[in-house]
Amino acid sequence: MPAVTFAGNPITLEGNVVKPGDKAPDFTVLDQDLSEVKLSDFTGVRVISVVPSVDTGVCAAQTKRFNEEAALENATILTISADLPFAQKRWAEENGLSQAKIFSDHRDLSFGEAYGVIMKEFRLLARSVFVIDSNDQVIYAEYVSEGTNHPNYEAAIEAVKNM
């Protein structure tokens, strides 16, 4: 498992590590209306932006940044956290991102298990980014080593541009 800390403290990640070259595992998360959504519901290039909670500064900035880049790079941005869908909907509306694809893994951590990002100590998802091509192959994976840091936006965007 990748070594990850949160506020300087070591964190135990649970689930299956995903690497570039792997087939992207499917998963089930909840949309803001509580309907089930799967990775396989989306086609083309997908960027999965994973945040511990949209209600924190770095997570909010990450969600906004990737959604701003989506229009430029012709990729579908999926933001996933373990927040409740109701909190995600409120946050999206308050931040002018009501059309953003923000999904909840709160119910059963299906995504977290499939991608190895469950922070055992908090039952939250570890900050990470995955880029998946139109053939469902992972072409970029970043497990951010310190959960309070930003991901490498430029590297993820470059991965999308290079397809």
Given the structure tokens 């290039």, which residue do they identify? 45
Active-site residue among 59, 117, 126, 138?
Answer: 59
Cα–Cα distances in angstroms (integers) from residue 146 to residues 4, 8, 101, 121, in the given order: 6, 7, 25, 15
| 57 in active site | no
Alpha-carbon span 83 to 135, nearest angstrom: 29
Helix (H) or strand (E) holding 70: helix 57-73
Segment 65-73 long-range contacts (CB within 8 Å, at least 24 positions apart): 65/153, 66/129, 66/153, 66/156, 67/97, 67/100, 69/153, 69/157, 73/45, 73/157, 73/160, 73/161
Residues known to be catalytic: 59
